[in-house]
Amino acid sequence: MNDRLRDPSLLAPQASDLLRLYRPGANLFASPHRTVLAQGRHAVLTTAANGALCAQAHELLRRVKAEGHVRPLLMGAVPFQPDAPAQLSVPEGVVWGWGVEGLAAAPMSLPAPRLVGKVAFAPTPDDYQAHVAQALAQMHGGHLDKVVLSRSLTIEARIDVATLVRRLAAGNTRGYTFAIDLPGSPEERRALVGASPELLVARHGQRVTSHPLAGSIPRSPDAAEDMRRAQGLLRSAKDHREHAMVVDEVARALRPLCSKLHVPEQPSLVSTSTMWHLGTEISGTVIDPSVTSLQLALALHPTPAVCGQPTQAARDFINQAEGFDRGLFTGLVGWCDGDGDGEWAVTIRCAEVGARSATLYAGAGIVAGSEPALELAETTAKLRTMLRAMDLESVLGDAA
C-alpha cells in the first residue's frame, strides 16, 4: 500500500480493484466519487466524542504529517453514545481510487460454509411495537417530538466479510459502503460492515455537503406498487414533518460554521434496494478553513434522524426502552485527512461481523401518527439490506 495518490482522479485504480484487494483487517470506505483502502495501524485514537476528540485528532494528523506522510488520514467510526470510545486510527498505508458510482452489480455467491444457528432479536418484535406505543404516549404528553427506536438481530453464522463488502458496494453505488476493523485478536477478528445511504457531512476544500434522510417506506417488488408507495411518501404529511425536523436541525448546526448555506425547500426521493426515503441535500461554504470534516460531523451528531427531538429526552428514552447497546450503530463512519477534508456517513444499514456470528441493526423514526406495526415493518425492510448481501434473508421468516 502507499499514500502517494493525493487526488483520486490521477492514476487512481477503479473501485472494483480496491474492493477485490480488500481483506478482513483492512479498512475500506467507498463513496460515489472516491474509494479509500487502508491497511495497518500507525496510531490509534479512542477518545470519546464528549472529550477532546477533535483536538487530539488534529494534533495526531499534524504529527503524522510532520513524520513525512504525504496525506495523513484518520479513518474509522464514532459511536452513538457520546461517552463511548471512538474507533479511529491512522493507517500505515493508503490507496485512493475512483468511487463506486457506475460499479457493475456482478452476481457473487458467498463461500461455504454458511452455518446458521440461533437467531435472536433484541427487543422482540412484540416488545418493539410496545416501545413504539410508549413513545407515542410520551409524544401525546408533550415530552417528545420524535424518537428513533432500533432493534438488533444476532445470527450465528460464518460470513465471508470480503465477499459481503463487494456485494454491498455493488448494490449501493449512490451511497457509502464501509468495512472498519475493530479491536480484538486475529482469531476473534470483528468488522463493522455496512452500506449507508445517508451522508452526514463531507468537506472538500471549503465546500460542505450534508444529505439527511428521514421519512421512509419499504419498497415493493411490484413496479406499480413500488411507484405508488414512492408517490405516497412524497405526499405524506407525517413523513414531511419528520423530515423537516431533521433538516431544520442540520441547518441550525451548520449555519454558524458555513456561509451561503443552501437548503432546498422540498425534499426529494432517495431509493435503495429495500427502501424509499425523503432526502434533502444541504450545501454551503465553510467559513473557517481550519474547521475539519470531523468537527463538522460531530457538530451534527446525533441528528434527529438517528436520535430524536429534543435530543436529550430522546436519548434518555432510547437508553431506557431499547434494551441493548447500539455501539457504533447510528454513529458516524468515514475519514478525515490532514487538510481537514473528509467524508462521514451515518452508520446505518450495518452489522458487526465476527468469526461465528453477526449482529445487524435497524431503526425507525417515531413521530405523532406513527403506527407500531408499520414501524416494525420498516425496521424489517431495513434489515434486508444486510441479510440479502449475506444471502441470509430467509432467517427473517414470519417472526420479524
Residues 319-343, buried b or exposed e (16+ Cβ, 10 A)? Answer: eebbeeebbbbbbbbbbbbbbbbbb
Grid cell for residue 320 = 431506557
Grid cell for residue 39 = 491497511
Active site residue ranges: 146, 198
Burial of 312 (0-12, 13-18, 19+ CB in 10 A): exposed
Beta partners for 385? Answer: none
Question: Which of 169, 161, 131, 92 lies closest to 323, judged by CA?
Answer: 131
Grid cell for residue 108 = 457473487
For residues 145 and 309, the answer to whether their CB atoms sit within 8 Å is yes
For residues 305 and 213, the answer to whether their CB atoms sit within 8 Å is yes
Cα 7 from Cα 164, distance rounded (Å): 28
For residues 169 and 103, the answer to whether their CB atoms sit within 8 Å is yes
For residues 77 and 333, the answer to whether their CB atoms sit within 8 Å is yes
Length of the chain: 400
Torsion of CA 283, 286, 289, 293, to 10 degrees: -50
For residues 247 and 280, the answer to whether their CB atoms sit within 8 Å is yes
Helix axes 372-390, 161-170, angle to 10 degrees: 120
Count of alpha carbons within 13 angstroms of residue 200, beta-carbon side: 31
